[in-house]
Structure 1
């Protein structure tokens, strides 16, 4: 992977992490278009995901600070309850990561057909939000675990993490602004955990992507992620997810067609 390719893929990751079009799926499609040989080395994917998490922290730093301040009280306040729901929502994806890591990594091998099919599934899920309740309520413990299950399913390349979690929340009757905030904050725990595990296991040192490529990709993903995160919050608030459903349908059909035509 060249430096330019790393930057391009980083930008793709940063933009599509928050937009409901599947960052992992677009990374696989980007690799296929650029002709990058795919292996089961997912270090680059983990690193650029970690960079977009940093962009989440930048955008939501006030919210995160408020949650931390709420921890240093004796009462079981809203901040502690919210953090508890974030932790609960991470259980399904952590379970998948711990017990099905090899199976998940085997999916990231440039399987354009799989990505195309999963993009169609993402498009269908986003379409359903058109029928979601107009007025929503807060996130609850039950809804948090269901949204967490949606996040775990989104480890499949082509299924959007933000799209699946936000759509699931909307269909469960959660307020638009509240589900967007919860969706973006809930990713902090599993992604930071995955990055820490990569470092502790020493897998980054064995990556086929050179360090300069990892750094360049991470910076590109961070900058693109800051822009996309702000954009996505506005999009969810205005209820414009249906347009991304059309995009996912089109991208899915093109990906599937390219698999059979190439």
Structure 2
């Protein structure tokens, strides 16, 4: 079933550092019948992965909200400082993401039609993962500065290009600018919440133009598959990041990127 397959692709590749948009573009090229242009389905699948992040980091999100409220009331404890600072860090990181996403809409849409560009982007993702995996853990720290948040947020904006993995590029960049691995992963996924929510809201305004009522059961199944596979993927990725085992994902991105380059340059031309 199309909805279930798209849900599986969305759930796994949204969080694993292999680029969900790149995979969808490649799948559509090799299997033209598997079209993901269904607006309602796309929104539901993104909602499914958004819920994954909220549930997985529910304790951190609750701590952030409690610490922020305590800070507003002037009752914040010293141990709440890290949680309280995460909210403004996410806001700062989201600013360049939003600017790039809105300003580069035409470029983003055009890049989906270019297999060579997708291939190069996948190879770039693989290289970033490989370099970040070799970074010395002793040179990183749990503290995140506003400068680091701005850099990671800028990279997240660039990751709207198909082939650039959002999770891979933001986690990898976070590690390279000196953020401890687990903290880099946490910040990456917390930063994805406003990004995914913003994308959903932008798409939702076009729902008024729908002329047909879809069959809801396949859509619900696809959303549940996106949620289940996404939850497993995010848990697996965090273990991989902490244990410095990103090399396998780097090799996968290189292989898939090379395939996209060959097909795009030789067979499509």
What is the TM-score of this pair, normalised by structure 1? 0.88
1:163 to 156, 165, 168: 168
Tell me the SS of whatever aligns to 1:72.
Answer: helix
Are 2:69 and 1:66 aligned?
Answer: no
Tell me the SS of whatever aligns to 1:35.
Answer: coil
2:132 to 124, 129, 133: 129
Partner of 1:34: 31
Greater mean deviation of Cα atoms: 179-188 or 214-223: 214-223
Partner of 2:17: 20
Pairing 1:1-262 to 2, within 5 Å after superposition:
4-36=1-33, 44-73=41-70, 74-75=73-74, 77-109=81-113, 111-135=114-138, 136-137=140-141, 138-199=143-204, 201-203=205-207, 205-206=209-210, 210=214, 212=216, 214-259=219-264, 260-261=266-267
Greater mean deviation of Cα atoms: 219-228 or 67-76: 67-76
Tell me the SS of whatever aligns to 1:187.
Answer: helix
Residues 209 and 227 of structure 1: CA distance in aligned 2, closer, same or farther (over 3 Å)? farther
Structure 1 residue 72 displacement after superposition = 1.5
Structure 1 unmatched ranges of 5 or more: none
Deviations 1:190-215 (A, max 9, x none): 1112212322x234754999564554
- In 1, distance between residues paired with 2:58 and 2:32? 38
Deviations 1:164-183 (A, max 9, x none): 00110111111111001111
Structure 1 residue 32 displacement after superposition = 2.1
Query: Size of the alignment, in residue pairs?
Result: 257
What is the TM-score of this pair, normalised by structure 2? 0.86
- Computed over aligned residues only, the root mean square deviation of the Cα atoms, in angstroms, reads 2.4
- In 2, distance between residues paired with 1:93 and 1:46? 19
The structure with more radius of gyration? 2
Structure 1 residue 78 displacement after superposition = 3.0
